[in-house]
């Protein structure tokens, strides 16, 4: 497959779950990859399995200075990036009554400030590209519905939803060759969703076939849409928000 041949992509939170699946899908389509994660050992394993077209770097996405280093390392290894997937995240339970300000800020520093820093660095790096470029921000169904047990997570993902549109429109107004879209997955079968604090259980989700309403999706369900939005096939799509939810948004009460 060659839908991303010639493209250079950065994927954050690539050591497991959605980031790993997205990275593998991009590699299969011919992209060269810079994979980052706060857990260096996990992301090294993903890059090694992909091969010479991938490198692994340690990154805390909330660290402003590290974004410059990631962009420099990408240019040194492969050239100017064409794709950024802002995927890194965490989830810590807490309602509006019991979420501390410290935990609220911690989650927003990664999932909202980290996405802001990534978008800003990517626009600077991509605005002079001679081919279409794409920023893909992982938001959540929590941004469209709200999720009372996870108030900080919902707030961060809601901010990503709105910020995505601002970035997209800015790039259009400046005539930059950059699209920016957000994805809004429901529950996906990843280690983060399987953790005890989230409470997802049941059998592992199969990679093929129909999925019943309310069951977890497979990481490849998100990765496939990321490939499309990263490719030039989606050249007329920007400022969009795309649920990956098996109809959960419109599920009757």
Plot region of 200 (φ>0 → left; ψ -120 to 50 → alpha; else → beta): beta
Nearest-angstrom CA–CA distance, 102 and 118: 22
Q: 153 an active-site residue?
A: yes
**Which tokens go with 211?**
């999925």
**Which tokens go with 245?**
């939810």
Going by C-alpha positions, the residue among 142, 139, 150 that lies closest to residue 198 is 150
DSSP secondary structure letters along the chain = --TTTT-EEEESSTTSHHHHHHHHHHHHTT-EEEEEES-HHHHHHHHHHH-TTEEEEE--TT-HHHHHHHHHHHHHHTSS-SEEEE-------B-TTT--HHHHHHHHIIIIIHHHHHHHHHHHHHTT-SS-EEEEEE--THHHH--TTBHHHHHHHHHHHHHHHHHHHHHHHTT-SEEEEEEEE-SBSSHHHHSTTT---SSPPPSSS---TTSPBPHHHHHHHHHHHHSGGGTT--S-EEEESTTGGG---
Q: Which of 147, 153, 176, 242 is catalytic?
A: 153
Catalytic site residues? 153
């Amino acid at each position: 497959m060659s839908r991303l041949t010639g493209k250079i992509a950065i994927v954050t939170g690539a050591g497991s779950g959605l980031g790993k699946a997205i990275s593998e899908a991009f590699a299969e389509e011919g992209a060269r990859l810079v994979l980052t994660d706060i857990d260096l050992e996990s992301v090294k394993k993903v890059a090694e399995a992909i091969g010479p077209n991938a490198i692994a770097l340690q990154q805390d996405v909330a660290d402003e200075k590290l974004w410059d280093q990631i962009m420099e390392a990408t240019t040194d290894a492969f050239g100017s990036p064409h794709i950024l997937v802002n995927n890194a995240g965490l989830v810590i339970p807490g309602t509006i009554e019991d979420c501390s300000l410290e935990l609220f800020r911690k989650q927003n520093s990664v999932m909202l400030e980290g996405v802001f820093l990534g978008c800003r660095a990517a626009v600077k790096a991509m605005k002079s590209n001679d081919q279409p470029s794409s920023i893909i921000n992982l938001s959540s169904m929590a941004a469209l519905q709200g999720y009372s047990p996870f108030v900080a997570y919902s707030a961060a993902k809601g901010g990503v939803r709105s910020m995505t549109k601002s970035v997209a429109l800015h790039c259009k107004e400046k005539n930059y060759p950059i699209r920016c879209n957000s994805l809004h997955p429901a529950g996906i079968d990843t280690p983060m969703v399987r953790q005890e604090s989230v409470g997802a259980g049941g059998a592992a989700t199969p990679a093929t076939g129909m999925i019943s309403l309310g069951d977890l999706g497979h990481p490849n369900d998100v990765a496939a849409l990321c490939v499309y939005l990263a490719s030039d096939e989606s050249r007329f799509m920007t400022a969009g928000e795309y649920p990956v939810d098996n109809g959960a948004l419109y599920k009757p009460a």
